[in-house]
Amino acid sequence: MITHKKLPNGFEYIEVKNSSAEAKIALQGAHLFHYKRVGEEPILWLSEVSDFEAGKAIRGGVPICWPWFGFHQDRSLPQHGFARTAMWDCVSCSEADEKSSSVILRLTHSQGSLKMWPYLFELDLHLTISDKLTMELKTTNLDRNSFKITQALHTYFSLSHISDAVIKGLDKKPYLDALTWKKEVQEGDITFNQEVDRVYQEVDGEITLSDKNRTLHVRNENSSSVVVWNPWIEKTSRMSAMKEDAYEHMLCIESANAFDDARVVKPQKSHTLKAEIF
């Protein structure tokens, strides 16, 4: 069942329920803010105090960073781009069978977007909700000129506790430590006892996230960069829409085209960033 809903303040979202899983997707930002499989705890973390208001990014779920990841050179422009707070259109909702549902949302250039990023484009998010979550972010260049994008599916995973979290699949991969701006190489599995903000490169295999309760797998296509982030104690206390202990129960593993993995999209061509979580 796929239902279009509104919160009392008019905030619009789509609710998906089938025999495998359920999900909720906001039209603002094409923001998937809930996904859980039947009989399991939610896979995505969502802040208990997150805003669901026009123009404010939701804290948790899967924000879409596009057409730039991180800060823009022009600091007057929004961090992580404009897609995550823009209103998207619902192109289609369909059910392949009782176990799988599909939602496609679209964002296109506007007078507002052209002031921030002077290109004509079409951006589609295709979500497939089943016993695995598939996210495909397709950028199509409708302009006469090529353009470069950096982007991320900024996935917040829900944890039993950060002290139990272990990430495998990034051993020996180079990364930029965004806390020190030094380039490092990963040695072994990733565990957490302090703030971590890293952009891994040359990623070509499956990533696993384990904690006390379960193991999840992330498989990316058309991406060789992955962001791993947990804000830890001090930064969490400074962040909006976060309780002070929020860092204990969330961890971001972001499927990305970031920094060295930036992509050039030629006129009338497309690039699709794909992530599967299972």
Distance CA(135)–CA(220), nearest Å, equals 10
Question: Does the annotation count 254 as an active-site position?
Answer: yes
- What mean pLDDT is predicted for residues 126-139? 98
Coil/strand/helix, residue 133: strand
pLDDT > 90 fraction of the chain, expressed in percent and rounded: 99
Question: Does the annotation count 136 as an active-site position?
Answer: no
Phi, then psi, of 166 in degrees rounded to 5: -135, 130
Helix (H) or strand (E) segment spanning residue 182: strand 182-185
CA 215, 51, 55, 34 torsion: positive or negative? Answer: positive
Q: What is the pLDDT of residue 90?
A: 98
Distance CA(235)–CA(244), nearest Å, equals 9
Residue ranges in 62-151 assigned as alpha helix (H)? 111-116
Distance CA(154)–CA(13), nearest Å, equals 19
Q: Are 113 and 66 in contact (CB under 8 A)?
A: no
- What mean pLDDT is predicted for residues 13-20? 98
Least Cα distance to 122 among 111, 133, 137, 134 occurs for 137
- How far is CA 195 from each of CA 39, 128, 240, rounded to the nearest angstrom? 32, 32, 17
Q: Are 259 and 150 in contact (CB under 8 A)?
A: yes
Rg, the chain, Cα only: 18
- What mean pLDDT is predicted for residues 75-79? 93
Q: Which of 31, 34, 126, 154 is catalytic?
A: 154
Query: Which position has the token pair 């797998």?
Result: 217
Q: What is the pLDDT of residue 191?
A: 98
Least Cα distance to 124 among 111, 105, 108 occurs for 105
Coil/strand/helix, residue 138: strand
* Paired tokens of 207: 């990533």
259 contact partners, CB below 8 Å, separation of at least 6: 69, 150, 176, 199, 201, 225
Least Cα distance to 52 among 86, 81, 11, 8 occurs for 11
- What mean pLDDT is predicted for residues 120-132? 98
* Residue 42 or residue 96, greater confidence: 42
| 142-197 residue pLDDT tens | 999 999 999 999 999 999 999 999 999 999 999 999 999 999 999 999 999 999 99
| 207-254 residue pLDDT tens | 999 999 899 999 999 999 999 999 999 999 999 999 999 999 999 999
Q: What is the pLDDT of residue 234?
A: 96
Coil/strand/helix, residue 260: helix
Give 66's pLDDT tier (boundaries 50, 70, 90): very high
Q: What is the pLDDT of residue 120?
A: 98
Q: What is the pLDDT of residue 170?
A: 98
